[in-house]
Amino acid sequence: MSTIESLENKDLPTFIYELENEEMKPMIEIRGLAKSFGTFHALKGIDLTIAKGTVFGFVGPNGAGKSTTMSILATLLAPSEGYAKVDGFDVTKHPHEVRKRIGYMPDFFGVYDQFKTVEYLHFYGASYGIPKAEREALIPQLLELVNLSDKKEAYVDTLSRGMKQRLCLARCLVHDPDLLILDEPASGLDPRARIEMREILKELKSMGKTIIISSHILPELAEMVDEIGVIEHGSMVAVGNVSDIQMRLRVKRFLHIRLHDRLDEAEQFLRDRPYVNRLLRDENGLQIHFGGQDEEQSALLLELITAGFRVISFSEAQTNLEDVFLEITKGGGDI
Ligand SMILES: Nc1ncnc2c1ncn2[C@@H]1O[C@H](COP(=O)(O)OP(=O)(O)OP(=O)(O)O)[C@@H](O)[C@H]1O
Ligand SMILES: [Mg+2]
């Protein structure tokens, strides 16, 4: 039924409701997903929902289960238990529907010595059934997007690693998928190439793509993702938007205090105060691992001043994503 027909057969509120519901349908829905290799449990029952248009960062230490999850989403690996759906289609029951909608970039790149860059993209385009005339128009655009236009006649094997990564990304895009599953697209890239990769991903986000991207490079991920999920030993240990996760961990804050004088005395004074878990001295002043919240923090400053210490600055260091990651993955975590 066409959109017009469906509109004619329904009252407007129902039609709008259905349209909105369609948009609200998550791009990824994972429930109780488990994967075992023999007796080894690589995934231990994961739940995850990713809304359309989200850029989701998938974070975790080596062996946590990121690639396993992504391979299941890409229909390359069958789950042992639970299910994963892409745009409403179960990856096991409807793999063809899923494949039409996804672009998957694995964490390795095969050998294609017989292909030139442009031929490589034609090869993939043809395997998705895209007619030659369409490919002729599309491929230059893709090469432009990933900054490889000047390498179109180069043999794939002569490309640098960063160029191969970008070519691989272009390959994922030939069939204009809604979901990109990118397994460490920035690994092994130099800082400049990483920035370029990040810019390309930003552009893809602005085109409305949903992106799931795994990485170890957390501060970089924080800049471009809407949400992060932290996985460890096959279990999701935290999911949320970047600032929420940082907030939940701010119970462990770092304070930095600079004083005009009486540093030794202040050190002794602070050591005896509540919530001061650790105190370190550096060339600029005192660093405190503080267990209190805002109220206790302001009380501490007041105590210092009331005791006559001449405070130059009293500041809270921002926990960065690297700290968050270490905090969550240090063995179960406390969130
Ligand atoms: N085919 C397989 N056979 C046996 N064990 C496997 C297989 N594939 C993955 N594993 C194991 O499952 C666990 C999760 O691996 P996975 O590749 O998903 O981790 P990862 O989070 O992607 O790690 P990395 O950051 O190193 O890429 C690891 O312990 C790995 O050894
Ligand atoms: Mg991996």
- Residue 79 has a pLDDT of 97
Helix count and strand count (H, E) for the chain: 13, 14
The single residue listed with the structure tokens 């238990």 is 81
What are the Cα distances from residue 14, in Å, to 8, 18, 52, 68, 108? 11, 6, 22, 40, 47
Report the residue among 37, 62, 214 best suited for mutation to probe ligand 1: largest number of ligand atoms under 8 A from its CB: 37
Domain(s) of CATH 3.40.50.300: residues in the chain: 22-246
CB-count exposure of residue 49 (10 Å: 0-12, 13-18, 19+): middle
Which of 3.30.70.920, 3.40.50.720, 3.40.605.10, 3.30.70.1060 would CATH assign to domain 251-318? 3.30.70.920
Distance between CA atoms of residues 74 and 102, nearest Å: 7
- Residue 55 has a pLDDT of 93
What are the structure tokens assigned to 177, written together?
């998928």
Is-contact 156 170, C-beta < 8 A?
no
Q: Does 42 contact ligand 1 (Cβ within 6 A)?
A: yes
Q: Does 165 contact ligand 1 (Cβ within 6 A)?
A: no
- Residue 21 has a pLDDT of 63
pLDDT band at 20 (very low <50, low <70, confident <90, very high): low
- Residue 230 has a pLDDT of 85
Domain(s) of CATH 3.30.70.920: residues in the chain: 251-318
Distance between CA atoms of residues 312 and 260, nearest Å: 6
Distance between CA atoms of residues 225 and 241, nearest Å: 8
**Mean pLDDT to the nearest integer, 262-284:** 88
Is the pLDDT score of 331 beyond 60?
A: no
Q: Does 37 contact ligand 1 (Cβ within 6 A)?
A: yes
Strands (E), 162-262: 179-183, 210-215, 227-232, 235-241, 253-259
Q: Which amino acid is at 42?
A: A
Report residue 211: phi and psi, to 5°: -130, 130
**Bigger pLDDT: 14 or 166?**
166
Is-contact 57 228, C-beta < 8 A?
yes
**Global pTM?**
0.76
Which distant-in-sequence residues (6+ apart) come within 8 Å of 316 by Cβ? 253, 254, 255, 256, 297
Q: Does 253 contact ligand 1 (Cβ within 6 A)?
A: no
The single residue listed with the structure tokens 């075992």 is 36
The protein residue with its alpha carbon nearest to ligand 1, atom 19, reads 63
Report the residue among 33, 36, 39, 40 best suited for mutation to probe ligand 1: largest number of ligand atoms under 8 A from its CB: 40
The single residue listed with the structure tokens 């655009």 is 141
Q: Is the dihedral of CA 258, 260, 266, 270 positive or negative?
A: negative
Question: Residue 52 carries which DSSP code?
Answer: T
Query: What pLDDT, in 10s, does the model give residues 286-306?
Result: 989 888 888 899 999 999 999
Q: Does 64 contact ligand 1 (Cβ within 6 A)?
A: yes
β-strand 276-282 against 28-37: which pairing, if any?
A: unpaired
Of 323, 102, 308, which Cα lies nearest the Cα of 211? 102
The protein residue with its alpha carbon nearest to ligand 1, atom 10, reads 42
Architecture of domain 22-246: 3-Layer(aba) Sandwich (3.40)
**Mean pLDDT to the nearest integer, 298-315:** 94
